[in-house]
Amino acid sequence: MTIDLKPEQERIIRTEIARGHFRNAEDVLDHALATLQEKEHKEETKAPRKNLAQFLLESPFAGAELNLERQKDYGRPVDL
């Protein structure tokens, strides 16, 4: 497989090798792919976000007879 790198990408790879973080470009790519897989794994195992009502109903406040319905706004009287 042949990969064409942007000049900035090549500069970053060369800099990381020069700093001694990696021995060669393959090591940089291996590290990048491992990081990508780790990130994807964390996202897959993350619990889905809940809205505030779900959080409160599943929290220690559950059964506290909380009324989470919004009050209808009738506005305020305005003198003109």
Q: What is the pTM of this model?
A: 0.52
Written as tens digits, the pLDDT of the chain (80 aa) is 888 999 999 999 999 999 999 999 999 999 999 999 998 888 777 777 778 877 766 767 666 777 777 777 777 888 88
| Surface-to-core class of residue 25, CB atoms within 10 Å of its CB (0-12 exposed, 13-18 middle, 19+ buried) | middle
